Amino acid sequence: MKSKRWLERQYKDIYVKKAKKIGFLSRAAYKLIEIDNKYKLILKSNDILELGSSPGSWTQVILKINEKSKIDAFDIIDMKYKHQNVKFYKKDFFLFDFNSLNKKYDIILSDLAPNTTGHKQTDHLQISSMIEYIISILDIIAKKNSSLILKIFKGIEEKNIISVLKKNYRKVEYFKPNSSRKDSTEIYIIGKNFFKIK
């Protein structure tokens, strides 16, 4: 059951209200809208990998921006949003053999987050391990000159993650959407022009 505080925050949240009015499955849609308004990455991305795709609000945004895109979506929770351009894998991406797809992507998006504990350092370390795994398989999943959008919680592993990403992408930046809650430590890392090809 959701806490009373959480329910009160949802009721007052302008982005929750906007999402319901427009038909987005969650307020998270506005984070991707803001990111793409700044970086313009989705329209030129036809093959897309989305990690942590459920319930499907980012998928909705992607297909509104680029209706031709083909999305491989991964989550351990069923997606509410279904579309002919989306192939959903109800799988833990940590355990999935991406070599089996024999496919690389124009953009990789991850709005993944662990089940948060409320302990900021623990949550940061958990999400950092997810990101480190994504980085470890970039040679398998990322096309040359492709892009990356990753959610991270701020913390001690950031510096190392950014350092490694800069060895893989020609440009790496932080972006904090206005729709991200002010008390949240989440921030997005944007990588452009993947160049480390084996």
Q: What does the domain layout of the chain look like in residue ranges?
A: 28-194
Q: Which pTM does this prediction carry?
A: 0.88
Q: Burial, 7: exposed, middle or buried (Cβ in 10 Å; 0-12, 13-18, 19+)?
A: exposed
Q: Helix H segments across the chain?
A: 4-12, 14-22, 29-39, 57-65, 120-136, 138-141, 158-165
**What is the predicted pLDDT for the residue at 12?**
56
**What is the predicted pLDDT for the residue at 196?**
67
Q: Which CATH architecture has domain 28-194?
A: 3-Layer(aba) Sandwich (3.40)
Q: Which amino acid, one-letter code, is at 81?
A: Y
Count other C-beta atoms under 10 Å from residue 160's C-beta: 11
| CA-CA-CA-CA dihedral for 178, 43, 101, 26, to nearest 10 | 30
Side-chain half-sphere of 23: how many Cα atoms within 13 Å?
5
Mean local confidence (pLDDT), 58-76: 97
- pLDDT mean across residues, the chain: 89
Q: What are phi and psi of 117, to 5 degrees?
A: -100, -15
Selected catalytic residue, list 12, 21, 151, 182: 151
Residues 6+ apart with CB under 8 A from 131: 110, 150, 152, 161, 189
Mean local confidence (pLDDT), 161-166: 96
Report how far residue 92's alpha carbon sits from residue 135's, in angstroms, rounded to the nearest whole number. Answer: 16
**What is the predicted pLDDT for the residue at 116?**
74
**What is the predicted pLDDT for the residue at 27?**
83
Residue 86 — pLDDT band, cuts 50, 70, 90?
A: very high
Q: Which amino acid, one-letter code, is at 50?
A: E
Among 30, 37, 39, 38, which residue's Cα sits nearest to residue 192? 39
In the chain, what percentage of residues exceed pLDDT 90?
76
How close are the terminal C-alpha atoms of the chain, in Å?
48
Is 151 among the catalytic positions? yes
Q: Is the pLDDT of residue 3 over 80?
A: no
Residues 6+ apart with CB under 8 A from 87: 70, 71, 72, 73
Mean local confidence (pLDDT), 49-61: 96
**What is the predicted pLDDT for the residue at 54?**
95
Count other C-beta atoms under 10 Å from residue 139's C-beta: 13
